[in-house]
A = this chain, B = another copy of it.
Amino acid sequence: MIHVSAPSTNEQTPAPASGAPHPTLRVCVALFRWAGDRLETATSLAHTLPSDAPFPDESLDAAARRIIRDFGHVDAQYLEQLYTFSRPQADRREVIISYLGLFSPETTNDISGSRIAWSPAGATMLADEVEHIALEYALVRLRAKLGYTNIAFHLVPATFTLSELQQTYESILGHAVDKRNFRRRMIASGILTATNEQRREGSHRPAALYRFTSHDDQSAYLTPPLVPAQDAQPSTEGA
């Protein structure tokens, strides 16, 4: 978590370049939800990503949250800054800070008066080129993070079956995964807790319901394969 709090005492900031117009600032958010059978992207009714200029007294993160509330009338479960683009526009430059946001299904069920349209991720067409790139990139990041974080849990209801979770993974990754391996890995990871409840639906064996062990994610995993050698250096190997 990156945290910027107090204003700095350092007054190093260069003056805005000689009379030239200030760049336009815009925060845009690639929002996803799991629709039960597929991943969906949120667009405004005008086929753009939800976006707005941050207010002067507002952090970028806060602006992203506000944009999500304004468009969807709900809060996202997960929010992460992705990348900052810039491009020439009219007489000034436009700087676009892109975010990735995730909704849980419960959240998006009772959206009323929402200005959001949902379309299948991957088939979402955006007029704006930068927004298109930002969306593609958000998907890439989301896929990558499935592999080494518990980010998928933000897309899934509070309690869920392992099959549901697996379907979520498969649909985001775009390929099937082995059931036994998937379950073993999920359970071994310790981020799942079995509730004692079951869900019975249809004429087949009921499924056990699980929930997350911890709701804060430690997605800050970085794993360099190189590992410390036994001792500092001094002798040849101990033994």
A residues apposed to B, CB below 8 Å: 1-10, 12-17, 20-26, 46, 48, 51-61, 65-66, 69, 75-90, 92-95, 97, 127-131, 133-134, 136-137, 140-141, 143-144, 146-148, 169, 173, 175-178, 182, 185, 215-217, 219-220, 222-229, 231-233, 235-237
The reply to whether B226 and A8 form a contact with Cβ atoms under 8 Å apart is no
* Complex Cα gap A3–B145 (Å): 13
* Complex Cα gap A128–B22 (Å): 24
**Additional A-B contact list (14), CB under 8 Å, known A5-B216, A14-B53, A173-B226:** A4-B78, A5-B87, A8-B87, A10-B48, A10-B69, A13-B55, A13-B94, A16-B53, A54-B86, A60-B85, A60-B95, A86-B237, A136-B227, A182-B226
* Complex Cα gap A90–B8 (Å): 10
The reply to whether B53 and A8 form a contact with Cβ atoms under 8 Å apart is no
Of the candidates B3, B84, B129, the one whose C-beta lies within 8 Å of that of A84 is: B84
The reply to whether A22 and B22 form a contact with Cβ atoms under 8 Å apart is yes
Of the candidates B12, B24, B129, B226, the one whose C-beta lies within 8 Å of that of A169 is: B226
The reply to whether B130 and A8 form a contact with Cβ atoms under 8 Å apart is yes
Would you mind naming 15 contact pairs between A and B with Cβ atoms under 8 Å apart?
A3-B216, A4-B86, A5-B77, A8-B129, A8-B130, A13-B26, A13-B58, A14-B52, A25-B25, A57-B88, A59-B86, A87-B237, A147-B224, A176-B232, A185-B225
